[in-house]
Amino acid sequence: MAMNKYPPVFFSFELSFRDNTEKDRIVFKELSGVLMELEDISDNSIQQHVPTSAKFSNLILKCGLAPKDSEIVTWCLGTLNGNSADSVETKDIVVNLLDEAGNAHKSWSFIKAWPVKWTISDLENNLVIDNLEFAYSFLE
């Protein structure tokens, strides 16, 4: 089967836990923050830059709809409402780029992720997620 050479006309982003079932998936319209940058230090005495470590920006997902009983929602609520003295539970999450038929074209895995911020609105059995932001330790 030949792959279409053109990007999909419509696409969305699907968030799930790395080892999750079909039940816990949230679809978003926008994604940003998939950025890895190599930091360096500058040694002006010898005019040299030395690489130090990789730095990752926060993952930001926008315009999503999630059931209130979703494990992802429960994890986010527990983390964001928790006491800062408590340890934060990290999880491996996956974001898939979906075409108009729901087929995944690209996947990103965010290792040891945790929610840091969200903006939500409450509907009867669902949450409208305007903005959901994660920090993470590594990107695959």
Q: Phi and psi dihedrals of 107, rounded to 5?
A: -130, 145
Whether 69 maps to a domain, the answer reads: yes
Look up the CATH number of the domain holding residue 20: 2.30.110.20
Whether 123 maps to a domain, the answer reads: yes
- At 70-121, the pLDDT tens digits run 999 999 999 998 866 567 899 999 999 998 888 898 999 999 999 999 999 9
- Supply the pLDDT for residue 2: 46
Reported as a pLDDT band with limits 50, 70 and 90, residue 1 is very low
Distance CA(7)–CA(28), nearest Å, equals 18
- Supply the pLDDT for residue 29: 95
Whether 5 maps to a domain, the answer reads: no
Per the CB < 8 A criterion, the answer to whether 35 and 54 are in contact is no
Whether 91 maps to a domain, the answer reads: yes
Per the CB < 8 A criterion, the answer to whether 96 and 76 are in contact is no
Domain total in the chain = 1
Whether 128 maps to a domain, the answer reads: yes
Whether 17 maps to a domain, the answer reads: yes
Whether 4 maps to a domain, the answer reads: no
- Supply the pLDDT for residue 83: 64
Buried/exposed 47-57: b ≥16 CB within 10 Å, e otherwise: eeeeeeeeebe
Distance CA(120)–CA(102), nearest Å, equals 25
Reported as a pLDDT band with limits 50, 70 and 90, residue 128 is very high
**CA end-to-end span of the chain:** 27
Check the CA dihedral 104-107-112-115 and report its sign.
negative
- Supply the pLDDT for residue 54: 77
Nearest residue to 93 (alpha-carbon basis) of 59, 64, 42: 59
| Full domain range(s) for residue 22 | 11-139
- Supply the pLDDT for residue 4: 55
- At 21-65, the pLDDT tens digits run 666 889 999 999 888 787 677 766 666 666 677 788 999 999 999
Whether 72 maps to a domain, the answer reads: yes
